[in-house]
Amino acid sequence: MEGIAQAQAPATMEPAGGMQGFVADWSSDQRAFKNVSWGKAMMWIFLLSDTFIFGCFLLSYMTVRMSTTVPWPNPSEVFALEIAGQHLPLILIAIMTFVLITSSGTMAMAVNCGYRRDRARTAALLLVTALFGAAFVGMQAFEWTKLIHEGVRPWGNPWGAEQFGSAFFMITGFHGTHVTIGVIFLLIVARKVWRGDYDTGRPGFFTSRKGRYEIVEITGLYWHFVDLVWVFIFALFYLW
């Protein structure tokens, strides 16, 4: 009887341990990324690769900044503005930072309204976010124009280390390009939300299945990443 009972007992499989268990966990779609859509996963992969690029830029900037023997220009003086006879250091950069961080709030609200299928508010908040982004790019264009007029070039500047110009134009230009692309993306998605493409499942670019506003969240992932990168640029380039 004991042998029969042992034969009828269900066989249990011990979970694999060590490296074999790690590979099994991350190679099975039933365990890792089970509920993640293709579009969201691809956006996360893109943002990861973009993190490496921005990381290399900022690390290169820090290396140049610490290794140069020529005095580095003082950001508080270089990025100051004269307003009503007052010398205001970093005032424009502070406004740009406030605008971009505020846009993260409106983007988060747009995602919330999108999942509640509030079409009008979602479209309006996406447009407001795009407006903030466009304002940021406009202020950055003014900043570039001012520094170019004062003699800053990628190969030199009148205030000290020649690497300042190349680092400034490369880092802020690359980030500004990301913001510009984000603004275009926001306008496209806002138009499609307003037309009701995500309610009817109308075919086309950036349109998901009927009744799903996930593309708004994917847009939000990109926008929050751009805002987060600016925080690091602001801290390392303008405050250091």
Structural domain spans, the chain = 36-238
CATH code for the part of the protein at 36-238: 1.20.120.80
Is the Cβ–Cβ distance between 90 and 100 less than 8 Å? Answer: no
Tokens of 206: 């950036």
* Cβ partners under 8 Å of residue 80, min gap 6: 87, 88, 89, 90, 91
Q: Could you please report the per-residue DSSP string of the chain?
A: -HHHHHHHSPP-PPPP-HHHHHHHHHH-TTTSSTT--HHHHHHHHHHHHHHHHHHHHHHHHHHHHHH-SSPPP-HHHHT-EEETTEEETTHHHHHHHHHHHHHHHHHHHHHHHHHTT-HHHHHHHHHHHHHHHHHHHHHHHHHHHHHHHTT-BTTB-TTS-THHHHHHHHHHHHHHHHHHHHHHHHHHHHHHHHHTHHHHT--STT--STT--HHHHHHHHHHHHHHHHHHHHIIIII--
Mean per-residue pLDDT pooled into runs of 10, the chain (240 residues): 47 58 57 68 92 94 90 87 84 94 95 90 96 97 93 86 90 96 95 83 61 84 96 91
Residue 206: its pLDDT value, please?
60
Q: How far apart are CA 163 and CA 18, in angstroms?
A: 48
Residue 12: its pLDDT value, please?
45
Q: How far apart are CA 135 and CA 116, in angstroms?
A: 28
- HSE, side-chain direction, 13 A CA sphere, residue 185: 19
The neighbouring-strand residues paired with 82 are 87
Q: Please state the pTM of the whole predicted model.
A: 0.82
Residue 213: its pLDDT value, please?
77
Residue 142: its pLDDT value, please?
95
